[in-house]
Amino acid sequence: MSVFTTEDLFKIMRECAGEEEAVDLSSAAAEQEFALLGYDSLALMEAISRVERGYGITLPEETLGEALTPTAFVAAVNAALADRMPAAGAA
């Protein structure tokens, strides 16, 4: 579990808040703001909680306010995962 993908996020979002029938959670949706996709801050807080538990990371508090799109959210998760990994060659 070293890389978090948009598909991983969409799966969690569907589990947390469901999916509006009119919303297409495909790769094109990755650049749209969560609000336009029908997800509010409560759904994002639940997603953050699930990601933190599932991946053993802690996301910065700013993630909720700054990660307005799925792409930005995935980047924040992957940055936290990279910070957790030991540097290559470190003893």
pLDDT at 14: 84
pTM comes to 0.82
pLDDT of the chain, 91 residues: tens digit per residue: 479 999 999 889 888 776 655 556 666 788 999 988 888 888 889 999 999 999 999 998 888 788 999 999 999 999 999 987 665 545 4
- Could you tell me the two tokens for 73? 């959210």
pLDDT at 91: 46
The span from the first CA to the last CA of the chain, in angstroms, equals 22
